[in-house]
Amino acid sequence: MAKRVKLLDVAKAAGVSQGTASNAFGKPDLVRPEVRERIFAAAKELGYRGPHVMARMLRTGKAGALGVVFPDNLEYAFTDPVAIELLRGIGRECAQQGVNVMIISAQNQQQAIAAVNNAAVDAFLVHCYSDNNDIIAAIQRRNQPLISIDTDIAGAAGTVALDDFAAGKNAAQHLLDCGAKRFAILSLQATDHDHFGPMNANRVGAASHRVVRERLAGYHAALAGAGIAPSDVLHVECDNQSDHSAKMTAELLASHPEIDGILGMSDVIAIGAIDAARISGRKVPDDLKVIGIDGIAAGERTDPPLTTMYQDSVEKGRLAAEMALSEAPGKTITLKTTLLLRGSSKPL
């Protein structure tokens, strides 16, 4: 491999200084058209490939890229529909600002830390459920703007989140409005530790995932209004995968046939519940009402289609990217959800 042609070579060949040659590429207005052409000609002649990206980065300190990390989710980022919508919004804003998107990929926590340290980016976007995490610590050590999505991270430059309490409350209220009386909650994991199945008061109290805590609190707030105490509600933790929630739902319906309202803490979970209900012969929404949270496209294609509290995940991602890329972030944005009424529920 021949030695790389560099700016100095071009400058010499064109009979100008290195600085002028640099300007010809980076700030064309600063150099007389005539000279500029001479420089370009010399560049073409020598086969100069344009300014070296890494050298430029070192000099300017700008990477031109935004790092995106899913600490809970490293290998699943491209599987979870909500994560993909976030990415779509992030990509949109980054495209708009001429910045690339760097996905931090790793197989485990330790590799993720290395990946974070190897990433040439100007800022980080983190989507996660809890903030006590070595990956997050590694990101913070880099001392670059860090915007968190969905979870407050101590010391973050900004946060974009959902009004999860309202989402939960409105979801539960809607099922009450549909006449449901006996509820089951299919919840996301409340802590980083895998734990499936029935949830007790202890685990609820210890829930380290803000999103889970808030949505739960919202559910119970609405149910309390109808005189239903937390202890009257079944509560099961699921993996955020439809297969898994379907299995949990099947068991739940078998052991507790009286259930007539299912609160799914995500659409992915709720979709599994609808599948299980249909298979077990329950009529949705007549015998059983189901509501999710998110509003993913797949919810349109269940049988019946899924009623849900819709959030604009694309916009959430876009806003987070915008914040990360802005000079002075430092706010918290809280987004709202809206009821998206489809077939899995029916108001009285």
55 belongs to the binding site for DNA (CB under 7 A): yes
118 belongs to the binding site for a second copy (CB under 8 A): yes
143 belongs to the binding site for a second copy (CB under 8 A): yes
Site for DNA in 27-46 (CB under 7 A): 27, 30-32, 34-36
Burial of 320 (0-12, 13-18, 19+ CB in 10 A): buried
252 belongs to the binding site for DNA (CB under 7 A): no
Buried b (16+ CB within 10 A) or exposed e, 163-186: bbbbbbbbbbbbbbbbebeebbbb
Query: Which residue number, 59 or 141, has a Cβ lying nearer to DNA?
Result: 59
Buried b (16+ CB within 10 A) or exposed e, 256-292: eeebbbbbbbbbbbbbbbbbbbbeeebebbeebbbbb
Question: Taking contact as CB under 8 A, which single stretch among the options 8-16, 84-92, 183-191, 205-213 is the one that binds a second copy?
Answer: 84-92
Query: Which residue number, 36 or 213, has a Cβ lying nearer to a second copy?
Result: 36
88, interface contact from a second copy, DNA, none, CB < 5-8 Å by kind: a second copy
Candidate list 109, 206, 303, 347; residue touching a second copy; CB under 8 A: 303
CB of 63 to DNA, least distance (A): 13
Contact yes or no for 318/89 (Cβ under 8 A): yes
CB of 45 to DNA, least distance (A): 15
CB atoms within 10 A of CB 137: 12
* Count of chain residues binding a second copy (CB under 8 A): 50
Q: Which residues does residue 284 pair with via DSSP β-bridges, in sequence order?
A: none
Helix (H, G, I), strand (E, B) or coil at 162: strand
Which tokens go with 145?
A: 């703007």
15, interface contact from DNA, a second copy, none, CB < 5-8 Å by kind: DNA
Q: Interface mask (CB under 8 A) for a second copy, residues 282-301, using x and -?
A: ----------------x--x
Backbone conformation region of residue 37, classed left if phi is above 0, alpha if psi is from -120 to 50, else beta: alpha
Which tokens go with 112?
A: 């993720």
Q: Interface mask (CB under 8 A) for a second copy, residues 245-284, using x and -?
A: ----------------------------------------
Which tokens go with 286?
A: 């007549």
5 belongs to the binding site for a second copy (CB under 8 A): no
Q: How far apart are CA 209 and CA 132, in angstroms?
A: 10
Q: Which of 206, 336, 226, 287 is nearest to 216 (CA)?
A: 206
Q: Which of 87, 38, 84, 82 is nearest to 66 (CA)?
A: 87
Q: How far apart are CA 316 and CA 333, in angstroms?
A: 9
CB of 178 to a second copy, least distance (A): 24
25, interface contact from a second copy, DNA, none, CB < 5-8 Å by kind: DNA
Binding residues for DNA (CB under 7 A): 4, 6-8, 15-23, 25-27, 30-32, 34-36, 50-52, 55-56, 58-61
Binding residues for a second copy (CB under 8 A): 49-50, 52-55, 57-58, 61, 63-65, 74-75, 77-79, 84-85, 87-88, 91-92, 94-96, 98-107, 111, 114-115, 117-120, 141-143, 298, 301-303
